[in-house]
């Protein structure tokens, strides 16, 4: 775990490039520092491996103040990937990856085995690339080697300073996918610096949004997309960002809690009265009289009642629709759209993890939700 405790940084004791930074990165978490150039995100990251020391406050790793650790020893425990991959041009790819293990006096066999493993892990054929030189590689391949070198001694923490910003979009997306795969497989603690909001949303479990040396919002991508803390964050994120990332919008964000239920043994007369009183076109049928937070067993629509109104004592369960679909409140907007379209439904009940009724998505409500997040021009 990495803790920033009221950290500030000044080079002249008058002007502060960081002001009272205070946040925590949990073990195994992928945290992205995002903001415009000069906001302090790279300075914040460099405090972790003591490339820069704080003027005030503390940075702690697993409870230990980094100022009390020899910087050389500290840096050998932390992987570091920069924008320019920083490979030694006179060394082979294998030698570049093995640089830190060699300093730590690993055996030649152990160093080579680790380098070969990492090349394969990063989708580079070890037999082909181990003996090549940096000038023989593309930009994307060099960046992969930079990542491999950072992983060489299997550090628990990896720092990444805008590592993909110089790459073309296709290569960049490919390596982003590689990093997400590695994070899932290896569970490393990663602090990643970028000024690209798309990249931050794609990669980060948490995002720290910096402006003028201060963290103005820290939360999950969902939280920042849905509830930007300031107008500045909202402007940086962009009004149409949610439309670009509909997978971030959950059913729980768009569902309606304005629905009515009726017990299965209720009669059509009561059902008709409920429809009239609450000006609704459907009822969700449940086992209990108060059906909220219970499991739905069917749906009944106004047209059902009109066709069966001759016998008002007919029980709702006798004419209700039992062939219906449900959504989970944690499904995303795309899943809701797909399900609504595939079954041509007008109404889909929404359930929680315990399969209890918590809301409803209607086709009109879905259209309103899409219109609400779609760009206006």
pLDDT of residue 245: 57
- Which candidate, 334, 336, 375, places its Cα nearest to that of 359? 336
Find the range with the poorest average confidence among 47-51, 223-227, 306-310: 306-310
Q: pLDDT tens-digit profile of 311-333?
A: 667 788 888 888 888 999 888 87
DSSP readout, 101-131? HHHTT--HHHHHHHHHHHHHHTT--HHHHTT
- pLDDT at position 375 over 50: no
Could you give the domains of the chain? 2-249 (3.40.50.300), 252-373 (3.10.580.10)
pLDDT of residue 374: 41
Which residue blocks in 227-324 are alpha helix, DSSP H?
A: 231-237, 241-244, 251-254, 268-278, 302-308, 316-319
Find the range with the poorest average confidence among 203-217, 256-270, 292-306: 292-306
What are all long-range contacts of 242-245, with beta carbons under 8 Å and residues at least 24 apart?
Answer: 242/373, 243/373, 243/374, 243/375, 244/198, 245/201
Residues in the chain: 377
Average pLDDT over residues 10-34: 92
DSSP state of 357: E
Q: pLDDT tens-digit profile of 99-140?
A: 888 888 899 999 999 999 889 888 888 899 999 999 998 888
Q: pLDDT tens-digit profile of 158-190?
A: 999 888 877 778 878 888 888 888 888 888 899
What end-to-end distance do the CA atoms of the chain give, in Å? 44
pLDDT of residue 376: 37
pLDDT of residue 377: 36
- What is this structure's pTM? 0.66
């Amino acid at each position: 775990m990495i803790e920033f405790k009221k950290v500030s940084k000044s080079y002249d004791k008058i002007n502060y490039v960081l002001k009272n930074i205070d946040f925590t990165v949990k073990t195994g978490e992928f945290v992205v520092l995002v903001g415009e150039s000069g906001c302090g995100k790279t300075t914040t990251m460099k405090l972790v491996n003591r490339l820069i020391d704080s003027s005030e406050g503390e940075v702690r790793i697993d409870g230990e103040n980094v100022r009390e650790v020899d910087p050389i020893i500290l840096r050998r425990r932390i992987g570091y990937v920069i924008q320019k991959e920083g490979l030694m041009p006179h060394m082979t790819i294998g030698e570049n990856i093995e640089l830190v293990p060699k300093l730590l006096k690993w055996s030649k066999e152990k160093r080579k085995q680790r380098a070969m493993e990492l090349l394969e892990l990063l989708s580079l054929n070890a037999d082909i690339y181990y003996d090549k030189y940096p000038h023989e590689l593309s930009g994307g391949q060099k960046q992969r080697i930079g990542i491999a070198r950072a992983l060489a001694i299997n550090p628990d923490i990896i720092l990444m300073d805008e590592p993909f910003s110089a790459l073309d979009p296709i290569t960049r997306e490919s390596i982003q996918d590689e990093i997400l795969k590695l994070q899932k497989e290896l569970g490393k603690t990663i602090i990643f610096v970028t000024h690209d909001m798309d990249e931050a949303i794609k990669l980060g479990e948490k995002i720290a949004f910096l402006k003028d040396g201060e963290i103005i919002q820290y939360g999950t991508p969902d939280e920042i997309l849905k509830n930007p803390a300031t107008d500045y964050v909202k402007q940086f994120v962009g009004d149409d960002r949610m439309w670009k990332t509909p997978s971030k919008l959950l059913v729980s964000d768009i569902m309606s809690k304005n629905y009515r239920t009726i017990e299965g043994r209720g009669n059509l007369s009561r059902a008709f009265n409920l429809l009239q009183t609450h000006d609704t076109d459907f009822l969700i049928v449940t086992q209990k009289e108060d059906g909220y937070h219970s499991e739905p067993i069917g749906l009944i629509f106004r047209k059902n009642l009109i066709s069966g109104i001759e016998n008002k004592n007919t029980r709702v369960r006798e004419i209700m629709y039992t062939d219906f679909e449900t959504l989970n409140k944690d499904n995303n907007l795309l899943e809701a759209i797909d399900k609504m379209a595939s079954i041509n439904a007008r109404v889909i009940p929404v359930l929680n993890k315990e399969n209890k009724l918590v809301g409803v998505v209607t086709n009109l409500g879905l259209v309103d939700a899409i219109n609400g997040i779609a760009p206006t021009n």
